[in-house]
Amino acid sequence: MTDTVISLADVGIRFRRNRRSRRSLKDLFSGSRRRSRSGEFWALRKVSFTVQRGEAIGVVGRNGQGKSTLLKLVTGVVLPDEGTVDVIEGVAPLIEITGGFVDDLTVRDNVYLTAGLHGMTRKQVDARFDDIIDFAEIADFIDTPYKHLSSGMKVRIAFAVISRLEEPIILVDEVLAVGDKAFREKCYRRIEELLAGGRTLFFVSHNERDLRRFCARGLYLDKGALVLDGPINDVLDRYNAQYGIKPA
């Protein structure tokens, strides 16, 4: 059995430059001159790498260089235009974690719903329910509709659910920037715990300290290309050298 859990081969994905301007049927019928054909650009191109089970990888790059897109490709919520993405194990994506939560339902219903949509059975959620609520520290709000929670609580419960998914691969996209310091530290400890349990981590952050804390290997993305794939310290040094930020 191979230990490669993620492999990307020559992956490329392109977006329309002007994503927000939607086409309409009206445009379709108007003359070709009036049709504004917005240009396309490659958000990522010719990206290839493999990840072994248990690796912790930090993705580094400036804003808009394709970091989040890379994570979405690995999660499988966008599909590449060229190349192949193979992910052979389940993924717990800490991306848009509050996405599955419904305002009108209670916290309890939401926990069952979100965990269920990520593939857990009712019994599995039952077994973890108390842990999840404890972790999020919202025992008093179990039967409160989700919309009445504070924004901090919303993120806490969402993190608690997704980090309990027991999936072998975890993807983290800067979600930890929210929440108070104590909770953030708790999330970090949870991630370390998961790493110690042999999970594979994919981590996107601008915070150098966090990157060095969790990751051994780094991927440096610039202008849609994978510029450097090496030990996290080398990657961060290169990034800093290129964009003139003094090492912390």
Partner 1 sequence: MSSNAEVRPGQRTPFSRYRHSLWLLTQRDLRVRYSTSLLGYFWSILDPLVMAGIYWFVFTQVFQRTVGNEPYIVFLLAALLPWMWFNGAISDCTRAFLREAKLIRSTRIPRTIWVNRLVLSKGIEFLAAIPVLIIFAIIYRAQINADAIFFPLAILIQAVLTAGVGLIVAPLVVFFRDLERAVKLILRFLFYASPIIYGTSDLPENLQFWAAFNPLSGIFSLYRAAFFPDELDWFVVGVSAVMSLLFLGIGLLVFSRTERAVLKEI
In the complex, which residues of this chain contact partner 1 (CB under 8 A)?
A: 13, 15-16, 19, 22-26, 28, 72, 75-79, 81, 89-91, 93, 95-100, 102, 104-105, 109, 112-113, 116-121, 124, 165-168, 193-194, 197-199
Cβ-based nearer residue to partner 1, 114 or 205: 114
Helix or strand or coil: residue 174? coil
Smallest separation, CB 41 to partner 1 (Å): 12
Smallest separation, CB 237 to partner 1 (Å): 33
Cβ-based nearer residue to partner 1, 69 or 205: 69
DSSP H or E segment with residue 44: strand 40-52
C-alpha–C-alpha distance, residues 11 and 1, integer Å: 24
Smallest separation, CB 109 to partner 1 (Å): 7
Q: Where are the beta strands (DSSP E) in 88-232?
A: 91-94, 169-173, 200-204, 217-222, 225-231
C-alpha–C-alpha distance, residues 118 and 92, integer Å: 8
Cβ-based nearer residue to partner 1, 19 or 181: 19
Q: How far from each other are the two terminal CA atoms of the chain, in whole angstroms?
A: 41
115 close to 164: Cβ distance less than 8 angstroms = yes
Smallest separation, CB 240 to partner 1 (Å): 31
Cβ-based nearer residue to partner 1, 20 or 181: 20
Token duo for residue 90: 């389940």
Cβ-based nearer residue to partner 1, 87 or 216: 87
Smallest separation, CB 107 to partner 1 (Å): 14
Smallest separation, CB 46 to partner 1 (Å): 18
Cβ-based nearer residue to partner 1, 128 or 205: 128
Q: Give bridge partners of residue 201 from the DSSP assignment.
A: 56, 170
C-alpha–C-alpha distance, residues 177 and 136, integer Å: 16
C-alpha–C-alpha distance, residues 203 and 99, integer Å: 19
